[in-house]
Amino acid sequence: MMKTHLYTILIIFTSCFTYSQTAKEYSEMAESKVANNDYQYALILIDKAIVLNDTNEWYPIQKSEIEFKLYGPRDAINTILKAIKLNRKKSEFYNRAGSYYESGGLIDSAVYMFNLAIKYAPNDTLKYAYLQNRGAAKIGNRNFEGAKQDFEKVLEFNPNDIATLNNIANVYDELGEKNKAILTLKKIIAIEPNFIGTYVNLGFCYTAMDSIDLAINYFNHALKLDPKEAVVYNNRGYAYYKLKDYASALKDVNYSLSLYPTNSYAYRNLALIYIDTKKIHEACDALNYAKYYGFEQQYGEEVNELLKKYCK
C-alpha cells in the first residue's frame, strides 16, 4: 500500500482565559517548554495550572498532548477520558481520544471516539475535519470502503482538501483503482506542488505498476523537499530492490530504519532484500521485527507467510 497517509487532524483552539492570571502563565510556560522539547518540565507546569483552575477545558487537552509526547497514548487517553466529565459535549475531547487510540492501534475505539466528535461538532468545518480523521483511522484497520465513504463526504464539502485527496488516493490504490489514485495525486500537485506526500504516493503507485524509473524520479523529488523523510528512503529502497540493485536498496532501507526504527514495512522490505541475496538468517530477523511492530494489523498476512516459508 502507499506509505504516506495523513492521519489525525488535531484542532487547536486559541483560548480566552478569564481565570487566574497565574494559571494562564503556567499554561503559557508549559507551551514554551513543549516548544523546546522539555516535556517533563512542561508536565509539571500544566499540572500547576490545573490545580489552580480545574474547570478549564483546554488544560487537560494540553496535558494530554504533553503526556503523549512523554509516554505514548495510554496516559494521554486516561487524561482525556477524565476531562470528558468537564463537558460531555465538547467535540475536541473525543477527537483527541480518537487520535490517541488510533496511535495505539486501537482502531475500533478510535472510530467510536471520532463518531462522538462528529456528533458534537459545533460547526461543519470541525465536523468534516473529524470525518477525515475517522476515515484515516479506518485505513489503519484496512476498512478501505468505509474510509472511502468518509473521504468522499469530506470532498463534497471541500473538493480541494489536500489531506483528504491524499488519503482517498491511498484508498483508491488499495482498492485496485490505480488510475484514479494517480489522477487524484496529480490534482494535489496542481493545488500544492510542494506537498511531499503526493510524490511519495505517486512513486509507490508507479513502483507497483513496474514503472520503476518513473517511481524513483518521484521519490527523488520528494527527497529534495525533505532529505530526512524516512518513508521516502524506504520506498525508494523497494524500487531499487525491484531493479535488483540490492546495494542501493539495502542502503536506502537501512537509512530509513535509522530515521524510523519502528516501521514494520521497512523491515518487510529489508527481509525481501535479504531473501533475494540468500541471507536467510538476516531475513528472518527482519521479518520478526516486522511482525513485532504490527505489520499484520496494518498491511495483512504477507510477513506471516514469508515467516512460514523461510523461517521454519
**How does pLDDT run across 9-51, given as a tens digit for each residue?**
555 444 444 444 689 999 999 999 889 999 999 999 999 999 9
The answer to whether 271 and 239 have CB atoms below 8 angstroms apart is: no
Residue that is written with C-alpha cell 523529488 in the block: 221
In 3D space, the residue among 145, 57, 39 whose CA is nearest the CA of residue 96 turns out to be 57
Cα Rg for the chain, rounded, in angstroms? 21
Residue 286 burial (C-beta neighbours within 10 Å; 0-12, 13-18, 19+)? buried
pLDDT tens digits for 192-226? Answer: 999 898 999 899 889 989 999 999 999 999 999 99
All 3 cell numbers of residue 277? 541475496
Residue that is written with C-alpha cell 508536565 in the block: 43
User: Is the overall model pTM greater than 0.85, yes or no?
Assistant: no
Which is more confidently placed, 14 or 108?
108
Residue 35 burial (C-beta neighbours within 10 Å; 0-12, 13-18, 19+)? exposed
pLDDT at residue 156, rounded to an integer? 96
CB-based burial, 52-80: b 16+ in 10 Å, e otherwise: bbeebebbbbbbbbbbbeeeebebbbebb
For the cut 50, the answer to whether the pLDDT of residue 270 exceeds it is: yes
State percent of the chain over pLDDT 90: 77
If pLDDT is split at 50, 70 and 90, which confidence band does 103 have? confident
Helix (H, G, I), strand (E, B) or coil at 54: coil
Residue 149 CA to residue 119 CA, distance in Å, equals: 17
Residue 149 CA to residue 147 CA, distance in Å, equals: 5
* Residues 262, 266, 272, 278, CA torsion sign: negative
Residue 21 CA to residue 218 CA, distance in Å, equals: 51
Indicate the average pLDDT of the chain.
Answer: 91
pLDDT at residue 10, rounded to an integer? 59
Length of the chain: 312
In 3D space, the residue among 75, 29, 22, 82 whose CA is nearest the CA of residue 53 turns out to be 22
pLDDT tens digits for 69-78? Answer: 899 889 999 9
pLDDT at residue 291, rounded to an integer? 94
If pLDDT is split at 50, 70 and 90, which confidence band does 6 have? low
